[in-house]
């Protein structure tokens, strides 16, 4: 259940969860999200947010300074698109042989990645963004299927299901029923950053809030996680099409 409250002039998105602690996060766009137990009263939430208002304003100011405007890429010859931290140029081909598209409705098959280039038929240029998003979703799913088994036991989590979605300014989330949600944009980041996002959400299956115990779990698996987090804060805005 999600609600919105204005607390001390701060617009807060309130999300009820199955945890026992209140928590606050300031997203890349400066929006404020509050996680709260199901039985937390509105007054308790207001008191908690008010007690953190200086920290919240500091975080909002920091986000505005460190986050540049989103990069909007044009779907033209030579434009670079990220995949696992590296930029690869797009080639628009007039004589594109769509031999991969067994199912013509499958947009992921309209975009090829080979020989260090993204390749797309000129006739599909007007739908290029949809094709890239579909391709990124497919590759994110592939990476998660490969990498969840590398980390779940180390964290102590049991992943029943995951989804790849457009989560806006969030990289990932852990649902009430344990389903993990991942933003398709994360496959644009270097693999070590991808792994950090994965471990971060696996740790949330054990500890809902960003408690000391939560960070101990993350640090046990990724000792230098602060570097991964710093990369996301500085470069996360670049993970966009």
pLDDT tens, position by position, 2-20: 788 888 888 899 988 777 8
Residue 70 gets which letter from DSSP? Answer: P
Measure the CA–CA gap between 136 and 164, rounded to whole angstroms: 10
Reported as a single tens digit per residue, the pLDDT across 183-223 is 999 999 999 999 999 999 999 999 887 888 999 999 999 99
- Using a cut of 0.75, tell me whether the model's pTM lies above it: no
The predicted pLDDT at position 103 comes to 42
Neighbour count for residue 51 (Cβ, 10 Å): 10
Which pLDDT score is estimated for 106? 47
Nearest to 21 by CA among 4, 45, 5, 47: 45
192 CB-contact burial (10 Å; exposed 0-12 / middle 13-18 / buried 19+): middle
Low-confidence ranges of the chain (pLDDT < 70): 1, 64-71, 96-109, 176
Domains of the chain: 2-66 (no CATH), 80-133 (no CATH), 136-238 (3.30.2010.10)
Q: Give the Cα separation of 109 and 106 in Å (integer).
A: 6
- What is the structure's pLDDT at 38? 87
Alpha-carbon torsion angle 133, 184, 231, 63, nearest 10: 90
pLDDT of residue 90: 96
Q: Identify the pLDDT of residue 71.
A: 67
């Amino acid at each position: 259940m999600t609600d919105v409250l204005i607390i001390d002039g701060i617009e807060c998105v309130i999300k009820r969860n199955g945890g026992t602690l209140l928590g606050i996060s300031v997203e890349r766009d400066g929006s404020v999200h509050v996680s709260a137990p199901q039985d937390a009263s509105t007054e308790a939430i207001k008191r908690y947010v008010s007690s953190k208002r200086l920290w919240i304003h500091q975080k909002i100011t920091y986000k505005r300074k460190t986050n540049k405007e989103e990069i909007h890429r044009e779907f033209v010859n030579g434009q670079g698109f990220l995949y696992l931290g590296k930029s690869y140029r797009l080639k628009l081909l007039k004589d594109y042989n769509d031999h991969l598209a067994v199912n013509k409705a499958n947009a992921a098959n309209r975009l090829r990645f080979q020989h260090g280039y993204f390749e797309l038929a000129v006739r599909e240029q007007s739908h290029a963004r949809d094709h890239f998003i579909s391709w990124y979703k497919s590759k994110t799913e592939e990476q998660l299927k490969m990498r969840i088994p590398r980390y779940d036991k180390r964290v102590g989590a049991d992943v029943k299901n995951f989804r790849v979605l457009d989560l806006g300014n969030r990289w990932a989330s852990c649902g009430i029923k344990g389903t993990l949600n991942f933003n398709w944009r994360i496959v644009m980041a270097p693999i070590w950053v991808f792994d950090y996002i994965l471990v971060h959400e696996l740790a949330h299956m054990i500890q809902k809030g960003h408690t000391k115990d939560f960070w101990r779990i993350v640090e046990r698996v990724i000792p230098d996680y602060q570097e991964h987090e710093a990369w996301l804060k500085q470069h996360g805005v670049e993970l966009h099409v």
